[in-house]
Amino acid sequence: MNRTDFSPSSKIWIYQSERLLDEREEAIINARLAQFVQSWTAHSHEVKGHGAVYHRAMIVLMADESHTQVSGCSIDSSVKFIKAMGAEMGIDFFDRKHLVVKVDGALQIALIQDIQSMISNGIEQIEVFDNLILTKEEWDTAWLKPLSESRYKRMFDFMKIAPSL
């Protein structure tokens, strides 16, 4: 199912890997996500869902609630699925010590303390994927943004870089 077929208010969950995935891992995960969303239900009703790996680092799972409301049980089943798949493949999708960033246009997964070092060393062109977004509309319009304008900015000391920030 094409993600453009979903309501802007569709719920989004993003699960970030602690490292970049290789092509084989990405293909396996995408196939398993396709199977999961085909069988995803909420109170015996089919959930209109989408799941895929983006940027070789993040799983995006989406549910269009204009079709079926997701509930605690359906959300729990998705978390259980992601955890089990990650454990089986040796990939941690629940690591919160890393962020997916673009530094001078290059994608990388960096430890939070390493990002502070980048800031302290004067690297100003740091963009971050805001994996705390909640809706498709946010995903489409505000997923990637300058670190200094993100929800994560409170974690960093921007006074150690150019005064323009």
How high is the pLDDT of residue 1?
59
Cα–Cα distance, 128 to 102 (Å, whole number): 6
pTM of the model: 0.89
| Co-location of 28 and 69 in the same domain | yes
**Share above pLDDT 90 across residues of the chain, in percent, rounded to a whole number:** 67
| Co-location of 10 and 32 in the same domain | yes
How high is the pLDDT of residue 162?
47
| Co-location of 9 and 85 in the same domain | yes
- Number of structural domains found in the chain: 2
| Co-location of 45 and 106 in the same domain | no
How high is the pLDDT of residue 123?
86
How high is the pLDDT of residue 165?
45
How high is the pLDDT of residue 120?
87
Q: Contact 36/51 with Cβ under 8 angstroms?
A: yes
Q: Is residue 22 part of a domain?
A: yes
Residue 67: domain span: 3-89
Instruction: Supply angle C-alpha 58, 1, 108, rounded to 5.
Output: 15
Cα–Cα distance, 60 to 108 (Å, whole number): 17
Under-50 pLDDT residues of the chain: 162-165
| Co-location of 55 and 112 in the same domain | no
| Co-location of 13 and 83 in the same domain | yes
115 Cβ contact partners less than 8 Å away, ≥ 6 residues apart: 99, 101, 126, 147, 156
